[in-house]
Structures are given as C-alpha cells and as structure tokens.
C-alpha cells in the first residue's frame, strides 16, 4: 500500500480530523483515484476503528471523532466520486432505519448513486416506518434503499417491507438493503429485492432493479 494511503488510514483510525483534508488532497495531487482512497484507506481505517471498539481499546467518543474525520475526507472527495450530470436514471429514497444513527455508509452509497445519475432523496437517519411509508407514497420512488449497521436495528428492515405490503404499495417500489450486518440470506429472508455489499454494488443493484 502506498505511504499516502497508509497515512490516510492512520488519520481515520486516530481521528486526526485537522489533518485529513491535507492528506487526502496530497493523495489526489499524487493522482491517486478517489475510489482508491475511499476503498483502500478510509473504509479499512473505519474497520480498524470497529475492531478496536469491539476490543474495548477505544470507546464511543473516539469512534465519533473517527466518523468526523471520515466525513471531512469524504466531503473533499465527493466531486471526484460524482462525475456524471446526466439526466436522471431513476428516483431513489435512501435512509438509515429507526434506532440507527450510522450514516457514513449510507452517505457514500448516495454519493455513488448520484454520481451514476440517479436522483436521490436522503431522508437521513433513525427513520420510522410511518414517515417512510408516507414519503414513498408522496415521492413514488423506483427504489427504496435501507441502511442498518446494528444487529438490533436489522428487524426494522423487515418491518418496512411488511408496512409496504400492508399499505398495498409493495409492488410499486423495489427495496434494496445494505449495511455491515446485512447479507444476501437476510435479504432473501425478509423479501427485499436486492442487497449490496458496498456503494459500487448499490449502483449495480439499483440499475438492475430499475431496468428489470
């Protein structure tokens, strides 16, 4: 791994939010690609943060500073991840489910979807089923994208699908799901239409779901 990617990863792990922008800029100046910086340095950095948290080496405040650092870096990379500007390829609603405040992955998925030409409404985090159903009825998206990072909030995804059925709008919208604890088996189990492991897969799934 290049020294620059190493430094960016370390900055995420160490929550060096004052240094991250200069490091990312230096990597861009050295012609490293934005997706390489995200996938080979920043996301692996967050994985280290998660492992340290599991091992009680760090606690929520450190995890939060790592998130701030990640967001600052991503803000700088956003224009490079999105080079499209073409007409809309379809309408998508994205949110993190009720009880879950993790939004870095969701935001990254949104950046890539927008970059691929989709029109995305970001409802934010901790979104309850009722407001989600109301928004789906109003906006009539092609795809509803749900993110969850906690095993305790996974059941919310199933609740959303049940509520779509109860409101007789399950046939009108495709549901794609993702987030670290989500996998294809869970997606099949709750009757979602697609699961994506990362932001690039989210774009592929959205394309497949819309073009059929």
Q: What are phi and psi of 65, to 5 degrees?
A: -65, -35
Among 44, 53, 72, 121, binds ligand B12 (CB under 6 A): 53
Size of the site for ligand B12 (CB under 6 A): 40
Among 109, 113, 127, 160, binds ligand B12 (CB under 6 A): 109
Contact between 90 and ligand B12 (CB under 6 A)?
Answer: no
Contact between 44 and ligand B12 (CB under 6 A)?
Answer: no
Rounded to whole angstroms, the Cα distance separating 1 from 174 reads 39
Among 8, 23, 176, 190, binds ligand B12 (CB under 6 A): 176
Stretch that binds ligand B12, among 5-13, 77-85, 93-101, 134-142 (CB under 6 A): 93-101
Contact between 45 and ligand B12 (CB under 6 A)?
Answer: no
Contact between 108 and ligand B12 (CB under 6 A)?
Answer: yes
Contact between 196 and ligand B12 (CB under 6 A)?
Answer: yes
Q: Between 23 and 199, whose beta carbon lies closer to ligand B12?
A: 199
Contact between 105 and ligand B12 (CB under 6 A)?
Answer: yes
- We find the least distance from the C-beta atom of residue 171 to ligand B12, in angstroms, to be 19
Which one, of 105, 129, 107, lies nearest residue 120 by Cα?
107
| Touching ligand B12, residues 132-151 (CB under 6 A) | 145-147, 149-151
Q: Which residues bind ligand B12 (CB under 6 A)?
A: 43, 46-47, 49-50, 53-54, 60, 63-64, 66-67, 99-106, 108-109, 145-147, 149-152, 176-181, 196, 198-199, 202, 205
């Amino acid at each position: 791994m290049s020294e620059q990617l190493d430094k960016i990863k370390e900055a995420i792990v160490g929550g060096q939010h004052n240094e991250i922008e200069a490091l990312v800029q230096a990597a861009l100046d050295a012609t490293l690609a934005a997706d390489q910086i995200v996938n080979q340095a920043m996301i692996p950095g967050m994985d280290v943060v998660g492992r340290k948290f599991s091992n009680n080496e760090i606690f929520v405040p450190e995890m939060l500073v790592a998130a701030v650092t990640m967001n600052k870096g991503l803000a700088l990379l956003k224009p490079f991840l999105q080079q499209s500007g073409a007409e809309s390829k379809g309408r998508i609603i994205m949110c993190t489910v009720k009880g879950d405040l993790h939004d870095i992955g969701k935001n990254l998925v949104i950046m890539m979807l927008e970059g691929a030409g989709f029109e995305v409404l970001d409802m934010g985090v901790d979104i309850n089923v009722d407001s989600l159903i109301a928004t789906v009825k109003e906006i009539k998206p092609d795809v509803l994208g749900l993110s969850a990072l906690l095993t305790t909030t996974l059941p919310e995804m199933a609740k959303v699908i049940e509520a779509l059925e109860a409101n007789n709008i399950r046939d009108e919208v495709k549901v794609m799901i993702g987030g670290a604890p989500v996998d294809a088996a869970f997606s099949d189990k709750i009757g979602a239409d697609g699961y994506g492991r990362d932001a690039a897969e989210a774009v592929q799934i959205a394309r497949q779901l819309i073009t059929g």
